[in-house]
Structure 1
């Protein structure tokens, strides 16, 4: 256990302030001494090609316009030697071309060149009544560099650059107080304003980009959740279809010894084993259904107990759609035979989703629903075509009982379930078409009930 007397005494507030002041130059040097790696150029992530080239064009315009202007200003107005004026002007202006990809490295070169230029102008002949320590061209180039720097570097780096600019101005006033005329204060203030505005724009752009990325992720997650929900719904509906066949197998296997006379003992045991296996399968399916329907039960207060629909219930569905304000024309095959439960249910759900989409997105549009069977009985064609909606009016309320709310996603999943194909898309006149091809397997051959001779031979 540590005694209270052994704990170090808290540092006084004055000591902490003095320590922070002593460490400030070191932290400033460290921050400015770690330039960022060259990354994506300004506007490098923009899709437009001319916008990606715009920063290079702006930097080129600044360099071409400032270089001769700076040479002329230093040599003629300030009376500096021509060779030295050209070297200093090149060092002050040429790095602007580098600022598009390496703004901090460009700042190091330009800042050093500005300081050297200020020292060289101390003993110039015609500097008495002119701007010092920063000539006008140096101020313009430095502010242009600050724009690029603020759009790329971190906040701490920007603060360090701003403070370094102020420190250079203060030192210049200490070195030659008789030459100073306040331009360093102007540059210090303008630098802070430009850096603040650029950092604000960059943070706003970063926030907007993150928001777009989050919306994209949310949209992908929403689509994935929609797909999983639709698959869960299909699984629940298929349970009812498969459970019916399993129940028939169980009843037939249990009743076989009573319906067929004279079967051997081994056959009775085999039928009993089949019935037991079928009952176990039904129990497993009911447990699986309980998991799948738990969310549905919480949402609606209980499991679904209504029979699964088929194309025989399409007239009732169309009637409800007509009441919602959508004129629908229905065409069904006249002599349709029994369909596989999965195909029958899928055909109904496809029509249901298509009509629900018409009610939501094209209220009042004339719609034609056609369900036909191929001549060879190999496939079932489901076609839903709607015309363009009439003139805008009061929107029709969508049918709450129509559709699963998953639209084309649900259609594709159901068509994929039975091995069919789906073709959807807009029409040239502004309508929309949904066409599904559902394969039909040939109906099983009827099993003849065994006669007396067959019973004796079993």
Structure 2
């Protein structure tokens, strides 16, 4: 009689096992679906973070470009007004520099804003792809600053060599920011720029002279008398330098003026 009921028992067991197998497969599929959803969320989060970092980089670029060029335009316009009637030739030269700075600003803004809003047809012209300024453009920058009223002496030490584009742009921006601050706040002073190529790093130093901090005269708002710079421009530069594992120090000099010093490691040197 037990043998007669064996097939029924075996069928029941098989049915239970089948139901358990189906449930296991459904649970496995659900787990895979949830895992895929979580991975997709992680990818989306990483993509949003990357976009945020890129927008922050563009914001820093915009600050550097606008701050420098507008400062030059303001100084040159004021100079032109001073000599408009007595030295029309000098006034005309100053206004030409204002026009040049304005055109440069517009060109760079179009390039950077194009990263945020690319053309609908996806086609970029050569001007859209114009590179950001690097140390090769240092001479032109120094000439503009000197023409605006701040004498600048440049020293290059070590053996100049090609640099990664990001480091090259960062080095240029460090000099640009420091000279722009000196132009705005260091009336009657001068500046010294040193670019040093060492075995494994690039070192950039900008020393500016001006009223001593002991006199209480106006100083660049980017730093206090002894602490590191905290202005938006210098904070952005510090972030740029840290990306490459370097460091940047910016502070007032006790004898007057300001000092900006950066060290950027260069891989493969």
Structure number with larger C-alpha Rg? 1
TM-score (norm: length of structure 1): 0.28
**Which protein is richer in helix relative to its size?**
1
- In terms of fraction of residues, the more strand-rich structure is 2
